[in-house]
Amino acid sequence: MPDDTALDTTLLSLLACPQDKGPLLLVRDDDGNSLLYNPRLRRVYQIDNGIPVLLIDDARDATEAEHQAFIAQRADA
């Protein structure tokens, strides 16, 4: 089921990766769920009911295919 929850652009501009303190990208996975993505570390953070889960231990590594898809999404934006 796709996640139709969008983060406010102001909130998104304030969020940073807890690992490298850099900006995060708002992307969608194959199921249409919104995620936060750090392309520098290739780490994916979940958004749970509209709330970003920015815990290092809960993040996961992106696959090469996901990385390419997420970068392509940003290029299309």
pLDDT tens, position by position, 28-62: 999 999 999 999 999 999 999 989 999 999 999 99
pLDDT attached to residue 77: 62
Domain ranges of the chain: 9-76
pTM, 2 dp:
0.87
Token pair, residue 5, equals 């929850």
What is d(CA 63, CA 77) in angstroms, rounded to the nearest whole number?
A: 21
Pick the CATH number of 9-76 from 3.10.580.10, 3.60.130.10, 2.20.25.10, 2.60.40.1080: 2.20.25.10
